[in-house]
Amino acid sequence: MSLLDLETNELKELAADVRGRYEELKAKNLNLDLTRGKPSAEQLDFSNEVLGLPGKDTYRDKTGADVRNYGNLQGIVDIRELWAEVLGVDAANVIAGDSSSLNIMFDLISWAFTFGTNDSERAWREEEAVKWICPVPGYDRHFAITEQFGFEMVSVPMLDDGPDVDAIERLVQDPQVKGMWAVPLFGNPTGVIYSREVVERLAAMETAAPDFRIVWDNAYAVHTLDGELPENPDVIALSAAKGHPNRFWYMSSTSKITLAGAGVSFFASSQENLDWYASIAGIRGIGPNKVNQLAHARFFGDAEGVRALMRRHAGSLEPKFRAVIDILESRLGEFSVARWTQPQGGYFISLDVLDGTATRVWELAKDAGITLTKAGSAFPHGVDPNDRHIRLAPSLPPLAEIVEAMDGVATCVLLAAVEKLGA
């Protein structure tokens, strides 16, 4: 039965029932938050050992260098080698940084804007316009960066196997299109995994701009919910083989593996790109926090240590994701007023409600004490043209709270839908 097919009296009956449920929901005076994809306290506890590492007697990296002192812009070899194995790329192409990969992404865009990249004819600020491809729905903080620099953001729809690559191949014929955001595995917020074909086409396509860059933000490379890790293509080697060695700025971090905000970030790219980065990073600072890098190398032990930790995260996250999906299915499944993704990894579920009702769902939830990520936030400038998308982030709250919040969200989705249908 679809809500859209109901007779007027049936719809009225349902509307009365949903309104009653909503009043009951409000009477509970909830205070629940499903907004940001933060790890829970339980997950953070998995990495408490990091707080005591590397330990006061072991402050030398593999090369014998004292990590307490200044220097080594590219980060210590211990963690670079370990992480290269996790990602499946050559350690020579990996730099280890401070705690935030987002900071590096901001720097890359900022420096391309101010100085131009190693392949630029001029600084991007001297271009008449810089256009940037944004697969939607996408990560709000990515879009905030390109908005900050005044880039014209061009939306491309996210399909089941990655962004619409036909559209991308057409857009890159424009020399003002300088780059693109990408979250290739378990994407934020859809959970989509880019197919091999999409990745190969992105690596191989000819672009009018010689300095076109793809920010390959592999923030969820190992964040499986079911223990299965998808293929993680080495886009650095792949793009080199296709004749575009400098195409990818590959990002990664341990933020949602160990301690969010106190982990280690990584930037992987061609030697030329890394040299360009270092030529400016070396002016911005003397070197990264190598003490924390050594702490992480010791904590993980090896790449298998990372995978074992991710299985513990999966054990904590999977029941929460399953609860969200089960509630959506049982409360909304029969009405055909919403669709949702069923990701096998990552931190988010995308919920598409009846067109034109996402903002209303958000308001109704807020009034009932359930905070959702603002409708539209997964789109450039915070505007969802269809007003249909809501990003759900089930990681942080305890399971019981998720169940309560999602049951409330389902009521809000139904109420907004019956309102929209005039009942």
Cα separations in angstroms, 312 against 46, 51, 257, 397, 413? 8, 19, 10, 17, 33
The site map against ligand PMP for 191-230 (x = CB under 6 A) is --------------------------x-x-----------
The residue with tokens 């879009």 is: 143
Q: Which is nearer to ligand PMP, 101 or 357 (CB)?
A: 101
The least distance separating ligand PMP from the CB of residue 140, rounded to whole angstroms, comes to: 9
* Element spanning 389, H or E: strand 389-392
Strands 370-372 and 32-34: parallel
The least distance separating ligand PMP from the CB of residue 220, rounded to whole angstroms, comes to: 7
* DSSP-assigned letters across all residues of 82-142: HHHHHHTS-GGGEEE-SS-HHHHHHHHHHHHHHH--TT-SS-GGGSS--EEEEEES--HHH
Q: Which is nearer to ligand PMP, 101 or 207 (CB)?
A: 101
Among 100, 239, 270, 373, binds ligand PMP (CB under 6 A): 100
Among 93, 207, 255, 273, binds ligand PMP (CB under 6 A): 255
Q: Per CB under 6 A, which region of 15-23, 97-105, 354-362, 374-382 contacts ligand PMP? A: 97-105
Is residue 258 at the binding interface for ligand PMP, with CB under 6 A as the rule? no
The least distance separating ligand PMP from the CB of residue 211, rounded to whole angstroms, comes to: 22
Q: What is the Cα–Cα distance from 156 to 143, expressed in whole angstroms?
A: 13
Among 21, 34, 37, 117, binds ligand PMP (CB under 6 A): 37
Q: What is the Cα–Cα distance from 393 to 38, expressed in whole angstroms?
A: 8
Q: What is the Cα–Cα distance from 235 to 217, expressed in whole angstroms?
A: 12
Q: Which is nearer to ligand PMP, 133 or 183 (CB)?
A: 183
Cα separations in angstroms, 42 against 140, 259, 292, 311, 333? 26, 11, 21, 14, 31
Is residue 102 at the binding interface for ligand PMP, with CB under 6 A as the rule? yes
The least distance separating ligand PMP from the CB of residue 50, rounded to whole angstroms, comes to: 15
Residue 254 tokens read as 């341990």
SS3 label, residue 201 = helix
Q: Per CB under 6 A, which region of 98-106, 125-133, 318-326, 397-405 contacts ligand PMP? A: 98-106
Among 146, 155, 224, 253, binds ligand PMP (CB under 6 A): 253
Is residue 265 at the binding interface for ligand PMP, with CB under 6 A as the rule? yes
Is residue 395 at the binding interface for ligand PMP, with CB under 6 A as the rule? no
Among 183, 262, 368, 396, binds ligand PMP (CB under 6 A): 183
The site map against ligand PMP for 132-161 (x = CB under 6 A) is -------x----------------------
Nearest 5°: phi and psi at 159? Answer: -105, -175
Is residue 47 at the binding interface for ligand PMP, with CB under 6 A as the rule? no
Among 72, 74, 101, 341, binds ligand PMP (CB under 6 A): 101
SS3 label, residue 422 = coil
Is residue 267 within 8 A of residue 97, CB to CB? The reply is yes
The residues binding ligand PMP (CB under 6 A) are 37, 100-102, 139, 183, 188, 217, 219, 253, 255, 265
